[in-house]
């Protein structure tokens, strides 16, 4: 039991460190890019990648939704989850999917900004 907790905390720390390094690397690249290029050229580059990045996000959401059942079964078979926990996770599948869709619409697609622009009558 103790080694399992240590393994999980070590895995969590490794994932956290990898996320921090990735964030720092992207931040560094953006700072270098901002110092060498104009804001307009960076915006044009982002606009050219917008559709690709949107498709990547929707693909990840679809993969989560369609692989959820298989992943829960694999964790239950590996004795990482009890039967009650597995059943609870099966019930949470569509709730998680719905939240991912809502986050994508609000953050990724900018629905709040579009809604506020519609209410105020501005063309943003």
Torsion of CA 41, 60, 102, 115, to 10 degrees: 20
CA distances from 12 to 24, 63, 85, 86 (A): 18, 22, 20, 21
Give pLDDT tens digits for 42-82: 788 878 888 898 899 999 999 999 999 998 898 888 887 88
Q: In the chain, where are the structural domains located?
A: 1-36, 40-124
pLDDT given for residue 28 in this prediction? 92
Give me the half-sphere count of Cα atoms (radius 13 Å) on the Cβ side of residue 3.
Answer: 0
Give me the half-sphere count of Cα atoms (radius 13 Å) on the Cβ side of residue 95.
Answer: 5
pTM attached to this predicted model? 0.64
């Amino acid at each position: 039991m103790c080694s399992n907790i240590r393994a999980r905390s070590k895995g969590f720390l490794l994932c956290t460190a990898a996320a921090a390094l990735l964030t720092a690397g992207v931040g560094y690249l953006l700072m270098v890019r901002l110092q060498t290029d104009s804001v307009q050229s960076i915006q044009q580059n982002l606009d050219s990648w917008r559709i690709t990045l949107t498709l990547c996000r929707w693909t990840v959401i679809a993969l989560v939704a369609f692989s959820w059942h298989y992943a829960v079964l694999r964790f239950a078979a590996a004795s990482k989850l009890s039967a009650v926990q597995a059943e609870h996770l099966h019930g949470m599948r569509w709730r998680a999917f719905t939240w991912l869709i809502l986050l994508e619409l609000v953050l990724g697609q900018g629905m709040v900004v579009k809604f506020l622009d519609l209410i105020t009558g501005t063309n943003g």
